[in-house]
């Protein structure tokens, strides 16, 4: 059995690596209580003889080693996990984690990992991790097909208080925060993405690390920080899309807000519009002045001509 020191060692960044090794894990699963669940794992490196399995529960967000298998040797389990799980190995690169009798406490994300030796501390070998498989177990008071509920998505504009700029001479450096709130969904298989004018953005995005349980459903929030001039661009579109796994496939739910015209604030766009209007007004004024000047000259000439004729 691995020591706790070895478990900690696995999560030192230099030993939890992402490489050219390709992992394949089972997709997300939503199951009823007392169901037996199989989560499969495979990778493409035959030199990695050890396969390990970890559990990451939402209430702790830390990874816990379930057990591991080395080559064809019988698997080793950590503590109480031997009663809840079974590790199987088809060959060096293929294996599975079996949840013997699923219950709400086994709802978690399960990670498959691989390493060269079973004792990574001694051999100083890195461990490579798969993408994880999320498992949600419906409790007895939930009825499958009825209580799987899609999210309601709402995008909120920046707070008016955030519009108040202390430095009125330098508005270009201010940011605005747009908030996306997804509520009332179950289970918590969601991800959040943002778009500006229908183009994906990641800069300035901060999404909750996990959905928050609220009674019998979940809530998750995401924030998008945008430059001052973006929000004060009339009709600029900011869209939040929530991808929700309903037990069979992902469904998308979106909401949008739109940029507004700046009031009492001289943005670059507004400045250009004002200067363009000023140039046009000035050109019209010059044209009118020229017409008026020509008319005056013509009138003077006409009067002079009339005076000359009278003298004759």
Quote the pLDDT of residue 8: 35
CA 4 to chain centroid, in Å, comes to 33
Please tell me the pTM assigned to this model.
0.63
Quote the pLDDT of residue 3: 37
- CATH class, 4-138 region: mainly beta
Residues 133, 26: contact at Cβ < 8 Å?
Answer: yes
How many Cα atoms sit within 13 Å of 153 on the Cβ side?
A: 21
Domain range annotation of the chain: 4-138, 152-258, 266-312
**How many angstroms separate the Cα of 293 from the Cα of each of 7, 290, 297?**
92, 5, 6
The token pair that represents 280 in the structure block: 């046009």
The token pair that represents 275 in the structure block: 């200067």
Quote the pLDDT of residue 257: 97
Q: SS3 of 163, please?
A: helix
Name residue 190's beta-bridge partners: 244
- The Cα 106–Cα 85 span in angstroms is 10
Q: Do domains 4-138 and 152-258 have the same CATH topology?
A: yes
Quote the pLDDT of residue 62: 83
Quote the pLDDT of residue 104: 87
Residue in 120, 126, 131, 127 with CA at minimum distance from that of residue 42: 131
**How many angstroms separate the Cα of 36 from the Cα of each of 3, 32, 84, 139, 299?**
29, 9, 10, 14, 104
Topology, domain 152-258: Immunoglobulin-like (2.60.40)
Other beta carbons within 10 angstroms of residue 298's beta carbon come to 10
Q: What is the pLDDT along the chain (312 residues), one digit of tens a residue?
A: 443 333 333 333 334 554 578 999 999 999 888 999 999 999 999 999 999 999 998 777 789 999 999 887 899 999 889 999 999 999 999 999 999 999 988 999 999 999 987 655 445 678 899 999 999 888 765 655 557 899 999 999 998 877 555 454 555 457 999 999 999 998 889 999 999 999 999 999 999 988 998 888 899 999 999 998 999 999 999 999 999 998 888 999 999 999 998 765 555 555 566 667 667 766 766 777 777 777 777 776 666 676 665 555
Residues 159, 177: contact at Cβ < 8 Å?
Answer: yes
């Amino acid at each position: 059995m691995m020591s706790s020191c070895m478990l900690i060692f696995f999560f030192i960044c230099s030993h939890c690596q992402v490489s050219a090794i390709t992992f394949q894990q089972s997709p997300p699963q939503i199951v009823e209580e007392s169901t037996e669940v199989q989560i499969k794992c495979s990778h493409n490196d035959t030199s990695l003889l050890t396969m390990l399995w970890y559990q990451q529960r939402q209430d702790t967000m830390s990874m816990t080693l379930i057990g591991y298998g080395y080559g064809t040797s019988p698997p080793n389990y950590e503590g109480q996990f031997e009663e809840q799980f079974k590790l199987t190995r088809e060959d060096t690169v293929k294996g599975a984690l079996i949840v013997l009798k699923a219950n709400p406490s086994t709802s978690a994300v399960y990670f498959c990992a691989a390493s060269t030796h079973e004792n990574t501390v001694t051999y100083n070998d890195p461990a490579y991790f798969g993408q994880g498989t999320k498992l949600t177990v419906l409790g007895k008071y939930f009825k499958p097909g009825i209580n799987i509920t899609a999210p309601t998505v709402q995008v909120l504009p920046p707070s008016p208080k955030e519009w108040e700029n202390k430095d009125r001479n330098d508005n270009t450096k201010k940011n605005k925060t747009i908030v996306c709130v997804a509520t009332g969904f179950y289970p918590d298989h969601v991800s959040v993405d943002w778009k500006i004018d229908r183009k994906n953005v990641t800069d300035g995005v901060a999404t909750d690390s996990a959905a928050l349980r609220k009674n019998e459903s979940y809530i998750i929030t995401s924030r998008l920080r945008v430059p001052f001039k973006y929000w004060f661009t009339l009709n600029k579109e900011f869209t939040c899309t929530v991808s929700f796994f309903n037990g069979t496939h992902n469904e998308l739910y979106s909401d949008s807000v739109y940029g507004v015209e700046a009031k009492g604030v001289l943005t670059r766009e507004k400045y250009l519009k004002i200067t363009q209007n000023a140039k046009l007004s000035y050109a019209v004024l010059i044209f009118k002045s020229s017409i008026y000047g020509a008319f005056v000259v013509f009138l003077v000439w006409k009067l002079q001509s009339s005076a000359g004729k009278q003298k004759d």
